[in-house]
Copies of this chain bind each other. A is one copy, B any other.
Amino acid sequence: MLTDRSRRVREARKLRRRAAREKAGLFLAEGPQAVREALGESLGPRPGLVVEIFAAVSTAARHTGLLDHAAGAGVTVQLADDAALASLSETVTPQGLVAVCRLLTVPLTEALGSAPELVAVLVEVRDPGNAGTVIRCADAAGADAVIIAGDSVDPHGGKCVRASAGSLFHLPVVAGVPPAEAVRALRDRGMSVLAAEGAGATDLDGAEDEGLLSRPTAWLFGNEASGLCADVLALADRVVRIPIHGRAESLNVATAAAVCLYASARARRRARPSGVS
């Protein structure tokens, strides 16, 4: 049984740092839900996604089906002690199950395909929990892809993986593209580019009423503290504000993204022939 001093555990532990993830081309997916999603992809559309799985002895017994499935498909399952698993974890309460996976991000062209209908673009977002939550919302709203543009957080970090609740495995994620390049690619594919910003000239409800959201749409969401900078706002077709009915100054980026992406999802659904859900 492996301990926190075993070579494989020490190697895997390095993946808690972004530079090590980029060098190795690997990241850690923690917890039963993430491991199950990763394995599903690995045994389906993305062969080889899961490189190995570490399981605490205390946890393995509760997930024998999952682990047998992995082992049966040729994925190495390593039993380790609790301290080893805790050393791989970024959570306060380690979940006893960690998969080492190949990085998920894909090139912009591959992510967008030829006719994307809904895309979320995060620009300079710094909080991994926010990035993961937006990836989860984008997935739920039926987005085709998420682009993490500019100098943003690494989507493969532990907090982002956890906040995405599996969605990181569900839709293509692009990272590190300059915002201007992302916007060019989105517009080339016929998308409207809408920037979500508190001071926007267009009200979100108004945008929906005038049919703006029924078109293929890419949403730009900005930094937690400073929002979208002037250069990025200038790239958008419209700057859209979520109406504030009370005394709050703004919404946080994840809830703002949820409101905007669901406004688009609703408008697209209504624009479809009746009866198609």
A92 smallest CB distance to B (angstroms)? 12
Query: Does any Cβ of B come within 8 Å of A195's Cβ?
Result: no
Query: Does any Cβ of B come within 8 Å of A166's Cβ?
Result: yes
Q: Are A140 and B205 within 8 A (Cβ)?
A: no
Q: Are A133 and B248 within 8 A (Cβ)?
A: no
Interface size class of A (residues with CB under 8 A): 35 or more
Count identical subunits in the complex. 2
Expressed in whole angstroms, the Cα–Cα distance for A218 and B266 within the complex equals 22
A207 smallest CB distance to B (angstroms)? 12
Q: Are B141 and A245 within 8 A (Cβ)?
A: yes
Q: Are A140 and B242 within 8 A (Cβ)?
A: yes
Which residues of the other chain, B, contact A205 by a CB distance below 8 angstroms? 266, 269-270
Chain-B contact segment, one of A21-29, A178-186, A229-237, A249-257: A249-257
Expressed in whole angstroms, the Cα–Cα distance for A136 and B143 within the complex equals 25
Query: Does any Cβ of B come within 8 Å of A131's Cβ?
Result: no
13 contacts between A and B (CB under 8 A): A140-B245, A140-B250, A142-B246, A165-B248, A165-B250, A167-B246, A167-B247, A171-B247, A242-B262, A243-B269, A245-B265, A254-B254, A258-B259
Chain A residues with a Cβ under 8 A of chain B: 133, 136-143, 163, 165-167, 170-171, 205, 242-252, 254-259, 262, 265-266, 269-270, 277
